Each structure stands twice: as C-alpha cells, then as structure tokens.
Amino acid sequence: MFAMAALATPTPMARADEPWKAPPAERERANPVPPAEAAVRKGQALYQRHCQSCHGATGKGDGKAARFSKRPVGDLSRQDDTTDGEIFWKVSQGLKDGDEIAMPRFADEIPNDQDRWKLVLFVRTLRATTP
C-alpha cells in the first residue's frame, strides 16, 4: 500500500484565469519515441479515444464536450513554443480548476509512458502549417 501512495502524483491545480505551464524540467524532456508511422497511428488512436471529444478532430478545441469546461479547451493547432515535454506532462498530469477537472490525468487512463509519447507525436501532426 505504501508503494501505491508513493506513485500517486496529485493533479496540478490552477485558477481559470491563470496560464497552465509545465515545470521547466518537464518542458526540457525530449520525446524518446521515434516518429515512425506506426507510432503516430497509435497516437492517433489514443487521441481519438481520449482527446477528440474536447479538442475536436483537428485539435482546435471544438469537440462536443468542450462546451462543458470552465476553461477554454486548448487549440492544439496553435502550438507556438510548446515543447514535446510540456505536452507529455500536461497529458500525464491533467489539470484541476478548483473542484472541476479541466483536463483528466491521462497517466491513469494511458499508463504506458511510451503510449503517451506516441500521443504527443500525433498531437504534433495537428500543428497548423500556416499562422
């Protein structure tokens, strides 16, 4: 039981008017999964199952469930200076805004780190090619 408690990481909390930023060490993490076609396809399947309902098919934050969030759902086509490590951290940790879960903690839903990194690979494909 002690080992289980040690593994549990609390979901970060932020108010709706605060930006959601990953810690600097997490932002610096590099994706260890090569961007092979099979890895991106696995990431796409994970995205469709866990993310598309809020972020939408093209990542613009216009999924059917987005209207239920107090915070604007992130537009994944606008990745600006977001790093792979930051995306991985956000997907893994999720976000709470007070009592509301603004984004689920997907480390619980997708426990395999390599699969969450594959999800990051797919999210990168949603980046807009023009500003």
Tally of CB atoms within 10 A around 6? 8
Q: Which CATH superfamily is domain 37-131 in?
A: Cytochrome c-like domain (1.10.760.10)
pLDDT recorded at residue 99: 83
Can you read off the two tokens belonging to residue 51?
């993310």
The alpha carbon of residue 87 and the mean position of all alpha carbons in its chain are separated, in whole angstroms, by 5
Average pLDDT over residues 98-120: 93
Percent of residues, the chain, with pLDDT higher than 70 = 84
Q: Which residue has the higher pLDDT, 107 or 69?
A: 107
Helices (DSSP H) in the chain: which residue ranges?
2-7, 24-27, 37-50, 52-55, 84-93, 106-109, 113-125
What does the alpha-carbon distance between residue 49 and residue 35 come to, in Å, rounded to a whole number?
A: 20
Positive or negative: CA dihedral 46, 131, 33, 107: negative
Is residue 9 scored above 90 in pLDDT? no
45 φ, ψ to 5°?
-60, -40
Can you read off the two tokens belonging to residue 50?
């866990």
**Any idea where the domains of the chain sit in the sequence?**
37-131
Query: Which amino acid belongs to residue 99?
Result: D
Q: Which residue has the higher pLDDT, 61 or 5?
A: 61
